[in-house]
Amino acid sequence: MMERVHAAILSLADASSGDHDVSTAVTESPGANDGDRLASSPAPTGGVNGSGESPNLDLLRATAVLCVFYGHLAGLIGWYTPKNLGFFGVVLFFVHTSYVLMGSLARLESTGFPRSWPLAAAFAIRRIFRMYPLSIVCVLLVPLLGVPRFPGETYVWVGWPAYLSNLAITQNLTHSHVVLAPLWTLPVEVQMYGFLPLLYLALRKGRYRSLWFWFLSAAASLAIPLIFQGRLNILLYSPCFVAGIIAYDLSQVLRPRIPSWLWPITLALAIAVWKVFDVDPNFLHEIHRAWIFALALGVLVVQFQEIALAPVVRAAHLVAKYSYGIYVSHVAIFWFALFRLNHFPAALRLLAGAALSVLVPVALYHLVEHPCIRLGSRYAQRFRLS
């Protein structure tokens, strides 16, 4: 039985990411960030401040994107790295995304959006304007600049059907090759958005239902891919998303008691423990282990008091703020700095890569992300009760 499950999992991965080495194709889930902070609520939510921002969640998001960034960079320049550190970053991001977006739904409801289709519509509009513009910009630039799928490879035109599927973020549904390796996670997240409002409404009818959601998602992840092979790879990662819903559920009833200084240590220990079990270069062979890590993280994240050390708070906030830009740009920057500039000294190439890794995400945020986030928020207001 488990052999059939693994065979189905591998076929799903091939459908969404093409015939490439999936161990190098992991990246962050862009998820929620600016404009979707964890909502404050009457329930005890620890140190989440009045604006709904959480330093602990910023640190979680920053840790996730740095795992992906370092995992890809280290593999390219020969530094030591756990085999699937990037995939561990993906797991962190999936948990973070659903946790924060459940709070976003709660905030929308509390500010005048009725608990029915207007709430789901407003949520969908905000997510579309959050996810699609920057992804579309990157997909449009790939053929113009001749950027390969991953640094070290050769640029290949994927054809119009696959290219349009990349623009629509439906690569897993159309069995299309991704034009940039990190983009394989985007359709998984976009499709998860369709379920979050339903799960939020179901959760409002009773606490701790999220635990049942997790077991159901794990069962579906094992069974359904055997029946519908190829286009339902979202189910492989649904237990990771549901772990974030568990975190939100618990945050409504638990008061954090663990000292805040232990939260960074816990994240570091999680990476170390992942390294111990990270023995297979194909991360899909470790998907079931990822579910357990995600569940543990979902239970733990709400137990810690909020970090108050100003330098850590500021640094985590900045990295989290620009994390989507880091996500969509880092492999192209690595390709440009390490391969297009290969006639220049290594020190200069590394300096160029470091500078671009800061400047490009900042520019993308201020030129594309933030204006579109604001535009999406304005359009979503049309579904608000007057």
Q: What is the pLDDT of residues 53-81, one digit of tens each?
A: 899 999 999 999 999 999 999 888 888 66
> For residue 6, what pLDDT band results from cuts at 50, 70 and 90?
very low
Res 84: pLDDT:
83
- Going by C-alpha positions, the residue among 309, 287, 234, 297 that lies closest to residue 266 is 297
345: left (phi over 0), alpha (psi -120 to 50) or beta: beta
Burial (CB count within 10 angstroms: exposed 0-12, middle 13-18, buried 19+), residue 386: exposed
For 38, which DSSP code?
Answer: P
Q: What is the pLDDT, as a whole number, of residue 36?
A: 55
Judge whether residue 308 has pLDDT over 80.
Answer: yes
Q: Which residues pair with 258 in a beta bridge?
A: 304
User: Please, which residues have CB within 8 angstroms of residue 351's CB and are 6 or more apart in sequence?
Assistant: none
Inform me whether the pLDDT recorded for 40 exceeds 50: no
Mean pLDDT score, 145-154: 95
| Residues 118-128, mean pLDDT to the nearest whole number | 94
Average pLDDT, the chain: 85
pLDDT in tens, 276-298: 877 776 766 778 889 999 999 99
Segment 22-27 shows an average pLDDT of 37
pLDDT in tens, 174-204: 989 999 999 999 999 999 999 999 999 988 7
Confidence bin at 245 (pLDDT 50/70/90):
very high
| Confidence check: pLDDT of 217 > 50 | yes
CA distance 132 to 139: 10
pLDDT at 234: 77
Handedness of CA 322, 324, 327, 330 (dihedral sign): negative
Give this prediction's pTM. Answer: 0.86
pLDDT at 26 over 60: no
- How would residue 226 be classed by pLDDT, with cut points 50, 70 and 90? low
How far apart (Å, rounded) are the C-alpha atoms in residues 298 and 315?
23
